Amino acid sequence: MGYDTLVPPPRLLDDGAAVEVELGGAPRRFHAMWLRDNAQDPATRSPGNGQRLVTLQDITRDIRIAEAAWASGQLALRFEPEGKAVRFNPDWLLHHAYDKPPPVAAGWTGEALTRWDAGLASQTPTERYDEVRNDPGARLRWLGAVRRYGFARLTRAPTTPDAPLQLAALFGYVRETNYGRAFDVRAAPNPNNLADTNLGLQAHTDNPYRDPAPTLQILGCLENTVEGGDSIVVDGFKVAERLQAETPRGFDLLTRYCARFAYAGSAGVRLRSKRPMIELAPDGELIGVRFNNRSAAAFTDIPYDDMADYYAAYRRMGELVEDPALAVRFRLAAGDMFIVDNLRVLHARTAFTGGGERWLRGCYADRDGLLSTLAALEEAAA
Ligand code: FE2
């Protein structure tokens, strides 16, 4: 007994322009064009690399489903006028079903993400470096935490200068910038970046003046014997949620208009970007936060009539960024590292005083490589 007998037969709609199929206990509609374009047969998709072998122009615009039936647990379709027969696995169809209500409110995030506040401090995702390096299970847990929380810690890492690079190599590739493949964060006499002082730094995302901005940052502690200099992380997606709840208009302004960011602290470098502080995808999904008081440039893309309210929203966002109720605070000791999703989680540092050494070393990497490695590990573990 399979789909063939347990599930109602598929029903053709609109003269075969679509079909309604019972999947997961609910009817789901699929268009003939979508089904034909997503056929998994070896003439449509390369069995070797899964890449599509046809263009949309190879599919006639008046394609119809002439027959639809369950056969040996598969959805068997015949397309006309092509006469092509294709079968679909119902699990694949359910996983890719699009016949669902559209998102109602802007600023939503998917089930893979959990927004957090100070409560995460008691359960900060943390793994040991050697386990993440040697044990695929620990690596999967750690990378999974980065995907869910945009933040994870690591203990007992090497205190060698290339430790952040070695960590990045466990899941992806270093993003080299004008700061080098790796960069130091330590008090310097004439710093070209305020990070290299003993001043506190307001929570921020790094390098919003790049486009694309690095999507991951790794920071490792090689030495920390100063007074102060604690690390703070804040979930920018939680900040966005709070802002939206308090002032829907303020949230709308920060998503609708672009801010400007710039960096010109080194000879030969004039980085500039124009991006919103809170970025939504066209379907309203919250996909990025950029916030950095040091590198915000003059905003020139907000109409005069909205500028005052824009600044009010920007101010409120900064207050939420500094709200201890949203912050997780910790102290990095030599051998500790952490990683943040740099388009989501802001990091800060409290001021520190002399008499010791504070030496962090970091690098940038990208989220797509991390998510790819995570997905491959999940597939291997399934
Ligand atoms: Fe930073």
For 245-271, what is the mean pLDDT?
97
Dihedral angle of Cα 273, 278, 283, 285, to the nearest 10 degrees: 120
Q: Is 350 helix (H, G, I), strand (E, B) or coil?
A: coil
For 368-372, what is the mean pLDDT?
98
User: Is pLDDT at 190 greater than 70 in this prediction?
Assistant: no
> 292 alpha carbon to ligand 1 midpoint, in Å?
9
> 359 alpha carbon to ligand 1 midpoint, in Å?
14
> 278 alpha carbon to ligand 1 midpoint, in Å?
18
> 96 alpha carbon to ligand 1 midpoint, in Å?
38
User: Is pLDDT at 196 greater than 90 in this prediction?
Assistant: no
For 309-327, what is the mean pLDDT?
98
> 258 alpha carbon to ligand 1 midpoint, in Å?
21
> 144 alpha carbon to ligand 1 midpoint, in Å?
23
> 347 alpha carbon to ligand 1 midpoint, in Å?
6
Percent of the chain at pLDDT exceeding 70? 98
pLDDT at residue number 2: 54
Position with higher pLDDT, 192 vs 109? 109
pLDDT at residue number 195: 80
pLDDT at residue number 189: 63
> 336 alpha carbon to ligand 1 midpoint, in Å?
16
Give the residue from 334, 104, 267, 293 showing the smallest Cα distance to 202.
Answer: 293
pLDDT at residue number 194: 82
pLDDT at residue number 7: 86
pLDDT at residue number 3: 57
Percent of the chain at pLDDT exceeding 90? 90
pLDDT at residue number 1: 46
Name every residue whose Cβ is closer than 8 Å to that of residue 202 and which is 6 or more positions away in sequence.
293, 318, 321, 322, 348
Give the residue from 41, 62, 44 showing the smallest Cα distance to 52.
Answer: 44
> 231 alpha carbon to ligand 1 midpoint, in Å?
10
| Structural domains present in the chain | 3-95 (3.30.2020.30), 118-381 (3.60.130.10)
> 204 alpha carbon to ligand 1 midpoint, in Å?
6
For 204-225, what is the mean pLDDT?
97
> 246 alpha carbon to ligand 1 midpoint, in Å?
27
> 20 alpha carbon to ligand 1 midpoint, in Å?
51
pLDDT in tens, 47-92: 999 999 999 999 999 999 999 999 999 999 999 999 999 999 999 9
> 320 alpha carbon to ligand 1 midpoint, in Å?
18
In the chain, % helix, strand, coil (3-state, to 5) comes to 30, 30, 40
pLDDT in tens, 115-129: 999 999 999 999 999
pLDDT in tens, 267-296: 999 999 999 999 999 999 999 999 999 999
> 55 alpha carbon to ligand 1 midpoint, in Å?
44
> 183 alpha carbon to ligand 1 midpoint, in Å?
11
User: Is pLDDT at 6 greater than 80 in this prediction?
Assistant: no
> 141 alpha carbon to ligand 1 midpoint, in Å?
25
Q: Are 183 and 361 in contact (CB under 8 A)?
A: yes
Q: Quote the DSSP letter at residue 10.
A: P
pLDDT in tens, 29-55: 999 999 999 999 999 999 999 999 999
Give the residue from 206, 365, 199, 183 showing the smallest Cα distance to 295.
Answer: 206
Model confidence at 193, pLDDT cuts 50, 70, 90, reads: confident
> 206 alpha carbon to ligand 1 midpoint, in Å?
5
Which of 144-148, 227-231, 236-240, 322-326 bottoms out in mean pLDDT, i.e. has the lowest? 227-231
